[in-house]
Copies of this chain bind each other. A is one copy, B any other.
């Protein structure tokens, strides 16, 4: 069942805000058997919303609109939708009460603009979807077998409404085929190389009713396999079978068929073995720690880290010997190793990873040079050297990806060695 998303807001067109809502919505909808077939981002101008609704309703029966529901003058989605569907706005007492309570709880003054937020469309085919996380309510409009839903653009309010109101109502309202996808997380080769490895097998997928897409990001590629059908068990079996086949063909480069993100897979591997990780970061500046701690439950396996952006901190907090820094410079394999060993010991972790490099920007030749070192329970280290480009953001992102995959692969190897010994 196809769904379209319309996002309202000049700030998204101008680029002052990055749209993270619609990616989340796409994933959640897909989980419930809805497929996003088109997204449009439009200005705050009411006419553009009417045009976008006309176009979307010409292509599909469900349109989700986010944004433009704020209390300020630049937000005009609510009256525009009420006009579009020919229903009046009336004061909605339960909402007025809820919005008043929202401000009281926070000790904030209740303003006239906030009272206006309780004026909501009232007529046949409309419903108010309560939003306890904010002051703008969700709105449901139904006409000629089509549904338009309006939600605020504030991410956590939209997510609450989608989870508690919109998706359950859509699932009740529309029958839809079962959709299923899985991902083979690959590392170490680019998409054209992986595609070459899949060869004829990939060309034959279409006939089998399976879709394949490559989702490359810095240092890794997610190979996504998907199918649609009315028989849930058959669709699952088809995709699961293809994932296994792909994993064999791509074997040396497969990091996981279970996890979509290295941080999640690494966290699960540590958690399952009861091991603790620490990080020492120079050029990645905390981005590895932030990626790890974005995983819920990270506190069970992530001990902490040191962001050693200066040489003095590398010495004092990680115990990197001044002589090593002097002889090899801060961006060198010996320093990366000393950082990894130092943070592992000082933070009392089983495993550790350290980064040092020149992220950029700039024009000096050393920019893009980086070293990543992993230290394990045996006290030995594994270190890799990299030569990337000149973009600071890209180099930091690459550093995070390479570091996560390096620890994860070392952990897998250690586990395999361990199992061999047991056998």
Distance in Å: Cβ of A76 to nearest Cβ of chain B: 12
Q: Is the CB of B316 within 8 A of A73?
A: no
Q: Which residues of B contact A312 (CB under 8 A)?
A: 303, 347-348
A142 within 8 A of B: no
Whether the pair B195, A72 counts as a contact (CB closer than 8 A) is yes
Q: Is A219 an interface residue (CB 8 A)?
A: no
Give residues in A with beta carbon < 8 Å to B. 10-20, 22-30, 35-44, 48, 55, 70-74, 108-109, 111, 113-114, 133, 135, 154-156, 181, 183, 190-193, 195-196, 202-203, 211-217, 222, 224, 260, 279, 281, 284-290, 292-294, 296, 298-299, 302-310, 312-313, 316-317, 346-348, 360-361, 389, 391-394, 396
Residues of chain B within 8 A (CB-CB) of A154 are: 216
Contact A214 B286 (CB under 8 A): no
A87 to chain B, nearest CB (A): 25
Cβ–Cβ < 8 Å partners of A304 in chain B: 306-310, 313, 317
Task: Tell me the bound Cα distance from A77 to B312 in angstroms.
Answer: 51
Q: A18-B18, A70-B191 in contact; A113/B13 too (CB < 8 A)?
A: no
Chain B residue nearest to A44 (CB atoms) is B213
Contact of A41 (CB < 8 Å), options: B38, B43, B296, B299: B38
CB-CB nearest in chain B for A212: B74
Query: Looking at the complex, which one of B27, B109, B361 makes contact with A296 (CB distance below 8 Å)?
Result: B361
A400 nearest CB neighbor, chain B only: B290
Within 8 Å by CB of A30, from B15, B25, B44, lies B15
With contacts A37-B43, A113-B195, A293-B285 taken as known, whether A348 is within 8 angstroms of B16 at the C-beta atoms is no
